[in-house]
Amino acid sequence: MALKTEEMVLNMGPQHPSTHGVLRLELELEGELVKNVIPHIGYLHRCFEKHCEAMTYPQIVPYTDRMDYLASMSNNLGYAIAIERLMGIEVPERVEYIRVIMAELQRIASHLVALGTYGVDIGAFTPFLFLFAEREKILTIFEETSGARLLYNYIWVGGLAQDIHPDFVRKTKEFVEFFKPKIKELNDLLSYNKIFIERTANIGILPADVAINYGITGPNLRASGVKWDLRKDDPYSIYDRFDFDIPVGEGLVGTVGDSWDRYYLKVLEMEQSLRIIEQAIDQIPEGDVHEAVPKRIKPPKGTIYTRVENPKGELGYFIISDGSLNPFRVKVRGPSFVNMEVFGELCKGHFVADIIAILGSIDIVLGEVDR
């Protein structure tokens, strides 16, 4: 007698401890096997783009902090560059160097959260504590510079909120030297852990062509073997002055583009961020960080689209100016939102327990997905 089975629809979330925010996943299951996953978003929607229409250009900067709140400096940077290009503002060299250092410190801090919480998702709590302890050192540098530990409002149109403090260079150099050996410790502790590899290798494989067709960017695209990074391929700020590599997924323990590759690529990216910081920190020129900050920001009529390489992928700002003090439209291309689109595709054919491994490897922040 043939065993009769029927499909079951199950909700995971919105308060599931491993959904990285307020996210509901509608699972279509056949036993433990996942037939389809439908993400339901919008629980954290804050009307960011509509709010921008009622704000002056400088007032929008603190709102950008709150999209991917683990990459606030990078969000500030993308917005500032967009308005500067729209107005034809040339930023002082000192500002450019400080911005790059802040953006790369932010990339490391963001990846540390991604890697630590991913360990917790899989069931390893110790790496989470280990990585968050290292992240605290970056947050201390940010706090001493901007006064905040999470939402900075530091990178302004034309410059910075304030100059770096006298100990900034020394403390940043100390962090770089301190953190280099910690990456090997992380690999020994988690990356090459037998159980961790079994839970992530060959799980949620994202082929390069599928990644490109879905518009995936950032570490998730590079983990699929595509060497594309805006810092090299469409340079902004002064990234073209620095020597660094673009790591890609190689399928070291599984298949290229699997969950382990997406995890490990962030480990490799932290090493490259350290290289950029080392080069930039010794080259910071003298200057006034407020020199090019306009007293009144009123761009001419026109449109602009700029994109920057955020920790999670390509962050784009499309801004329409009608010549007034407020933008007519601010449209954001959030990498977390785009990367989330492929999630259902990655989960098909896996088990329920694998859903969390796949979700954690994509590294989304719901503040950016929903905005």
Which residues, listed in sequence order, are joined to residue 320 by a DSSP beta bridge?
303, 329
Question: What pLDDT is attached to residue 15?
Answer: 74
Q: Which pLDDT value is given to residue 346? A: 92
Q: Residue 224's closest CA among 239, 211, 215?
A: 211
C-alpha atoms less than 13 angstroms from C-alpha of 243 in its C-beta half-sphere? 2
Give the span between the Cα atoms of 338 and 149, in whole angstroms. 27
According to the model, what pLDDT value does residue 4 have?
65
* Distance in angstroms (rounded) separating the CA atoms of residues 188 and 222: 23
Decide: 326 and 54 in contact? Cβ < 8 Å: yes
Distances (CA, A) of 56 to 146, 161, 302, 317, 363: 22, 17, 16, 16, 32
Amino acid in position 285: P
Q: What pLDDT score was predicted for residue 3?
A: 66
Domain 8-370 has CATH 1.10.645.10: yes
In the chain, the N- to C-terminal Cα span, in Å, equals 53
What pTM was estimated for this model as a whole?
0.93
Residue ranges covered by each domain of the chain: 8-370
Residue 177, helix vs strand vs coil: helix
Q: Which of 113, 110, 112, 105 is nearest to 146 (CA)?
A: 105
Would you call 217 helix, strand, or coil by DSSP? coil
Write the CA distances from 150 to 70, 120, 155, integer angstroms: 7, 21, 14
| Token output for 199 | 């839970």
Q: Would you say 293 and 317 are in contact if contact means Cβ atoms under 8 Å apart?
A: no
- Given this model, what pLDDT does residue 10 score? 86
- The strand pairing partners of 33, in sequence order, are 30, 351
Helices 126-146 & 93-122, crossing angle to 10 degrees?
160
Spans of the chain, pLDDT less than 70: 1-5
Share of the chain above pLDDT 70, in %: 98
Q: In angstroms, rounded to a whole number, what is the distance separating the alpha carbons of residues 112 and 118?
A: 10
